[in-house]
Structure 1
Amino acid sequence: MMKMIGQNSLNRKYAIAGILFVAPAFIYYLAIFFYPLLSAVYSSFFKVNILANQYTFVGLKNYVETISSQDFQHSVKVTFLYIGMFIPIIMITTIALSIFVTQFPSRISGFFIVLFILPFISANVTAGMIWNFILDPVLGIVNNLTGSSLKWFRGADTALFSVVIVGLWLRIGFDVLILVGSIRGIPPEVYEASKLDGAHGLKQFFYITYPLINPTVVLVLTLEVIRSFRVFGEIMSTTGGGPGGATKSLMIYLIKDVFPLSYGRASAVSILLVFFMIVLSLLQRFLKKNVQY
C-alpha cells in the first residue's frame, strides 16, 4: 500500500514538472497566436476606430465588401497565378537537385546543401536588393550578358515571374535540405535489390525513390503552397505590388491597401486567409492518408 502511495506521489511530481515545462510555451502560444486570432475574428464584425477605441457592429458587412471588392478579387487572382507558376517549378527543381546532391559523397553533398541553404537564411530585403540589381533593365547582369530588353520587375508582363525567381532562390535550399534527409533515409539494401531485378536510373527513381519519399514531398508541397498564399517579403522588397498591381498578392493588398484604412476589413481579410490555410491543412491530411509509406 505504501509503495503504491509513493508511486502515485512520484507520478504527481512528474506531472507537475511536465506542466511547468510546457506552461511557458503554452502561454506564449496563447499570447502570440490564439489571442490575436480571436481578436481578429471579433474585430471582423465591427467598424473599428482604433484611436477612439470605438467598435460599431456591422455584422458580415466587412466580409461582403471584401469579397465583392475588385481589388480583393484581383489580389486573389495574382496570388493564384503566383502559386501556379511557383509550385510546379520549385517542386520539380527541388526533387531534381535533391537526387543530384545525393549522388555525391557526404562531404561534397554537404557543400552543395550549404550552398543552397545560404539564400534561405538571408533576409528578404537583402534578396530584393540583390535581384533588383541582377534584373535591372539597364544595369542588370542578365540583360547585359544576354542582350535582352526585358523589364523584369518593372514590366507588368514579367514582374510576377521575376518575383517567382526570387522566391525560388530563397526557398529551394530549405526544401532540398528536407528531401535530401528523406532520400538518405532509404536503406541502401533497397537499391541493391532493385539492381538485381534490373532497375536502374529512372526506373529506380519512379519505382523506389519517389514512392518512398512521397510523404515528404507532400509535406514540402503543403508548406510551399501555404507560404505562397502568404507571399509578402520578396514582393515588398522588389515591386511593392506594382507595376500597376501586377504583383499585388493577398498579403500586399492586406498590408498596403486595407489595413491603413479599415481595421475591421483588414481583420476580415486576415480571417479569410486563415480559412485558406485551414483548407490547405485539411487537404494535406487527406493527401497523407493516400500516400504510400
Structure 2
Amino acid sequence: MSAIGTMDDAALMQKIQTDKKENCKCREQIKEIKKALTKIKCACTEAEMKAIKGSQMTATQGVGGGANPLVKQASAFGQTMSGLKLALNNLQDKCKAKDKLIQAMTGELKTRISSKTFDHIIAARNCDAPDYDKGGDVKTPAPSTNVLYTVNEENTDFDVKLSKAVATEKHKHKRRTKGCKCGKNHKDKEKDSHQVDLTGFEVIDIRRITNDSIIIKWKPPKTNLITGYDIFVNGLNKSKVMSGGRTSAMVHSLDLSSTIQITIYAVTKCGRCEPPAIAIYEIK
C-alpha cells in the first residue's frame, strides 16, 4: 500500500492495466489446466472400466494383479493429478493476490479523484444562508407550547395487558420445551439404522492406475438400505460414493510410496454403519 501511495495517477492507471492483462493470462492458464484434468479423469475412467472387465480374468493373481499395463499407460500422461492440481492452486492464489492488488489500486485512485472533487467543492464560494433569526415571519413559540406532557410512573392499562401477554408467551414456551415426542417414522428410521445387515461387505480388489491414483472394488452388503459409501485412506475422507448400487471407485492424489489403509463405510439415510470394510494396500 505504501508503494501505491507514492505513484502518480498516470503510473497507477498503467499498473492497473498491466495487472489486469496478467490476470487474464493466469485465468487462461487455469482454463487449460482444468481441461487437462478433465481429459485425465476421462482416461482414468476408461482405465477403470478396463480394469473391472479384466478383474475376472486376473482374479487368480491376487490383489494388484495385472496393474502394470495400466500404470504404464497412465505414465504417458506426463504429469500426475497431484502436479496439475498443485499448479492449478498456485495460479488461483496468484489470481486472488492480483485481484486484491487491483482492488487496492482502484480504491486509491477513486479516493484521489473524490478528494480532488471535494476540495473543488470546498473551494467554491457558497451562497450565504438566510438568517431566519432576523425574519419577521418567524415568531417565538408561546411559553405554554414548551411544556411537555408527562405521565407518572404508574402501570397503565397497556402495561398490564403487555405483562399478561409476555407471561402467557413464556408459559407457552415452557410447555413446548418440556419434551419431544418423536413420531412413528422417526422411530422406524432409528430402528432401521440398528438393523442393517452388513453380511458379505468387504474390499475385494485394489489396483494402482497412476502414480497417485487407485481403483477400489468392494462387495456390497446384503441389504437394500444402503444409499452410498464413504471411503477413507489412512483416516482421511477421500471419496463419497452417492449411490448404493456402486461397487467400485477411483481415489486420486494419494501418497503411494508406502503402505496405506483403506476403510469403507456403508451409508444409509440414518448415517454410517458399523463395522466398516478395511483393507491394507502394501507397496512392494
Give the TM interval when normalised to the shorter protein.
under 0.3
Higher helix fraction (1 or 2): 1
TM-score, normalisation: structure 2: 0.23
Larger radius of gyration: 2
Bigger RCO of structures 1 and 2 (CA < 8 A, at least 6 apart): 1
Give TM-score, length-normalised by structure 1: 0.22
Please identify which structure carries the higher strand content: 2
